[in-house]
Amino acid sequence: MPLWKRKRSPGKQLLARSKHLSASVRGALPRTQPRQPRIARIASGVAGGLLGITVGGLAVASRFGSDVVPLDRSLDAGPHIYSWRGWRVVFYENGPDGATPIVLVHSINAAASAYEMRAPFARLGDRYKIYALDLLGFGASERPPIRYTPDLYVDLLIDFLREVSGSAHVVATSLSGAFAVQAANRSPELFKSLLLINPAGVASLTAPQNPAGKLVEQLYRIPIIGQGLFNVLVSRPSLRYFTRQIYSDPAFVEHGLIEQYYLAAHQPGARYAPAAFIGGGLNTSIRDDLARLQPRALVLWSGYNRLQNIDREREAFHSANPGLRTEVFEDSGGLPQDEQRERFENLLRDWIAQREVPGGQQTQQRVG
């Protein structure tokens, strides 16, 4: 018997009647929403698919680096704990007790730690008492999900000098140099002198955080999506790319350096402080602070740094305080304390020796 002549079973007849009734009811009811054009439906589907792929990809990326070992120290020295406002700040010591103290402060970036100060930390301990710290939110220090601000780091520097090192010569890099200038103006008695390495805060990283920046910061703080975004930013290829923009000599961008940065950037809570930096929450203007800076200061500029307009920043610093002593390492990258180790060491030793002699002359000099 042909299929079309076969009688429907009672169950199939009931199903057919239900479908007919449902179609009749739908036809009788007015449509509450107009049917989307076909192109809109396609675009919506594509957007939803891309969003799903993106979120899924970030979820996968959020697990990158989850197998790295805990970072208990950034330097080859026994870590010490400074309990500050209930948080654990790790610092390191080298050199004889009672010697002239030097405090080394690393820069602010997604993989920052005291590791970038490893050369002066090791080389200057023969004569000076060296302190280097992992700022809160970086390195082996605690990384709480708090609001990170310039004042937080200014207060940390002041308290560290007052409670740990005592009055000291302070060496600070990049944006941390701006925090050090503000700290020196608030508590000049704690600063024997300042040596600022490629500092920011006059021509760059000065604008207050805007709503878009706040949104970016909050996005990075979201547990899965934010962690995924941050892990892409601090992947090994990304770290290698950014490091090559800093060093003038590519020989410094070697496996051990990248692995150390990768380890520092994949600790629990590693994204919170950099999120504030990326979103502009750590920007600060020090033009007025620089103009009235009381401690004697030396500013060291590099000739090569693709991530910072050195010439523009240097001119801005000179305009804000023409009396600052300036040195330029023309053939060095953004971290001259690492790339030009002996030259930097000699500069710092001479600088401190002059500061300890009454009436030391302030000069400007270019070092080739």
Do 294 and 167 touch, CB atoms closer than 8 A? no
Q: What is the mean pLDDT of the chain?
A: 84
Does residue 294 sit within a domain?
Answer: yes
Residue 82: predicted pLDDT: 98
What per-residue confidence (pLDDT) applies to 228? 95
Angstrom distance (rounded) from CA 335 to CA 341: 10
Segment holding 152, helix H or strand E: helix 150-160
pLDDT of residue 133: 98
Answer whether residue 11 shows pLDDT above 50.
Answer: no
The number of C-alpha atoms within 13 Å of 64 and in the hemisphere containing its C-beta is 20
Global pTM reads: 0.81
Q: How many domains does the chain have?
A: 1
pLDDT at 51: 41
CATH number at residue 150: 3.40.50.1820
Q: Read off the pLDDT of residues 161-212 as tens digits, 9 standing for 90 and up.
A: 999 999 999 999 999 999 999 999 999 999 999 999 999 999 999 999 999 9
Which residue range is the domain that position 150 belongs to?
A: 80-367
Q: Does residue 147 lie in a domain region?
A: yes
Question: Region 316-341: what's the mean pLDDT?
Answer: 94
Calculate what percentage of the chain has a pLDDT beyond 70: 79
Among the residue ranges 34-43, 95-104, 128-137, the one predicted with the least confidence is: 34-43
Q: How do 129-133 and 87-94 pair as beta strands?
A: antiparallel
Residue 321 scores a pLDDT above 90: yes
- Supply the DSSP symbol for 70: P
Average pLDDT over residues 266-290: 97
